[in-house]
Amino acid sequence: MLRDHAEKCIACKICLKECAFLRKYGTPKEIAIHALSATEPPLDFSFECSLCGLCQAVCPPKVGLAPATMFLEMRREAVKRDQGNFRQHNIITNYERRGTSRSFTYYGLPAGCDTVLFPGCALPGTRPEKVKALFHHLRGSIESLGIVLDCCTKPSHDLGRDHFFQTMFTEMRDYLLANGVKKVLTACPNCYRVFQQYGEKLRVETVYEFMAENGAPATPLVDGVITVHDPCGTRFDQQVQQSIRTLAGGKSLRIHEMKHTGSRTVCCGEGGSVSCLLPELAGKWSAKRKNEAGGTRILTYCAGCANFLNRLTPTSHILDLLFAPEKTMTGKVRVAKAPFTYLNRLLLKRWFRKKIPALISRERTSKKETGP
C-alpha cells in the first residue's frame, strides 16, 4: 500500500485542493516515502484523516489511487504498535460496546425469515418511532422480515481495531447465515458498506433502494426545495444515491444539487472519529457542507450525518421526510439526544420482542476482546 502510493502518485495535488488534512501533511506520495524511509515512522497522524475517500474520487483515473486505504492501514499498524490508543476515542468505543452488549442487542427471526432489517445504532436511538414505522412498512412487502438490533462495529474498523472488528462482525455474519438469513436491509450507509465489504454470502441492500423500487409510505406530498448530502459510506454507490432522489422526488420536492455531491461528496465532519481528536479540522468539512447548502434544508440518509450537520444548518433524515413530510419541511421533527437515545433503544428492543413472534432469537454475548 505504501509502496503503491510512493511509486504511483504523480503529486498533482488535486486531492490537496479538497482536503485540509493532506494540505497539512503533504501529498500521498510524500507521506508514503516518509513512512517507508523511517524504521518506526510516527503513524498517529493517520487518525486525523476522515477516511472519507474524496481523494480517491478526484485522483486522475490513470493513477487511480485510494489514499484512505493507506491511512486505514496506518491506523491498524499504529494500534498494533500501541500508537493508536487515544482516550478521546473512548466515547466512540463505549458507544459501540453498549451497542453490541447483551442489554442492547436483539435478533428476532420469525419462521421462514431470510431477510432482516438492520437499522444500526443511531436511528433506533434518535428516531425509534421511525424505525417501527419502517419495519411495519417493509413488512407489507416481506412478510417474514426479521430484525437485528446490533452494531456493525464500523467504529472499531475505522479506528484500526481490526482484530475486534473481525471477531465481532464475522460472528454476526456467520450467525445470520447459519440461521437462514440471505439478505440484510440496512438503513445506515455505513452499515451498508460494512456488509457489502465483509458480508460475503449475505446480500445487502439499503432500505432506500428497496422502497424506491417497491413503494414508499403513503404520506402527504409536500412543496419545497431540498439539497441532498450523500454520506461518504456510499460515495461510489450511484444506485443508492439515486434512490434517495427518487424518494424525495416522489414527495414532490425539488432538488438543488450542491457542488460536492455523489462520488465527490464531502464528509459531514464526523468521519474517522476525527472530531474527537481535532474538532477544528473536522469542522472544516462541516463548514464546507453548510456553505454549499446555503440555508436550503439538507436531506441525508445517515443518522450520524443528520445529527452532526443539523447543529449547523437545517438537516433532516430521509425517514423523517418519508414518514412525517410536513413536520420535516417545517423543521418540527423531534429527534432524541443522549442519554435518552439509550432508553429509546431499550424500549425499541422490548417492542420488537413483543411484535415479532420469533422462531429464533438471541441477545448477543460480546466476545471478550483479546487483541487490537
Site residues (vs ligand SF4, CB under 6 A): 9-15, 18-19, 21-22, 27-29, 49-55, 58-59, 63, 65, 67-68, 71, 120-122, 151-152, 154-155, 188, 190-191, 304
Q: 158-180 burial by CB neighbour count: b if 16+ within 10 A, else e? A: bbbbbbbbebbbeebbebbeebe
Torsion of CA 351, 344, 209, 294, to 10 degrees: 160
Query: Taking Cα atoms as reference points, which of 187, 214, 177 lies closest to residue 305?
Result: 187
| Residue (198 or 296) nearer to ligand SF4, CB | 198
At closest approach, how far in Å is the CB of 307 from ligand SF4? 11
Smaller CB separation from ligand SF4, 104 or 323: 104
Q: Which is nearer to ligand SF4, 35 or 54 (CB)?
A: 54
Q: What is the amino acid identity at position 313?
A: T
Residue 216 CB, nearest distance to ligand SF4 (Å)?
A: 22
* Strand-pair partners of 297: 226
Residue 253 or 302 with smaller CB distance to ligand SF4: 302
For the bound state, the minimum distance from the C-beta of residue 112 to ligand SF4, rounded and expressed in Å, comes to 26
CB of 25 to ligand SF4, least distance (A): 9
Please answer whether residues 117 and 183 qualify as being in contact, where contact means their C-beta atoms are separated by less than 8 angstroms: no
Specify the pairing of strand 146-149 against strand 115-118.
parallel
Query: Which cell goes with 60?
Result: 486522475
> Is the CB of 19 or the CB of 299 nearer to ligand SF4?
19
Separation between Cα atoms, residue 83 and residue 78, nearest integer Å: 5
Q: Least distance to ligand SF4 from the beta carbon of 211, Å?
A: 19
Q: List the end-to-end C-alpha distance of the chain, in Å, as a whole number.
A: 20
Max CA separation in the chain (angstroms):
63
Q: Give the CA angle between residues 128, 169, 299 to the nearest 5°.
A: 40
Cα dihedral 5, 6, 9, 10, rounded to 10, equals 180
Residue number with CB closer to ligand SF4 (12 or 255): 12
Smallest gap from residue 180 Cβ to ligand SF4 (A):
22
Instruction: Single out the residue of 192, 188, 171, 197 nearest to residue 107, CA to CA.
Output: 171
CB of 272 or CB of 325, closer to ligand SF4: 272
Shortest CB 338 distance to ligand SF4, Å: 14
Rank residues 27 and 227 by Cβ distance to ligand SF4 and give the closer one. Answer: 27
C-alpha angle 103/76/53, rounded to 5°?
90
Rounded CA-CA distance 16/14 in Å is 5
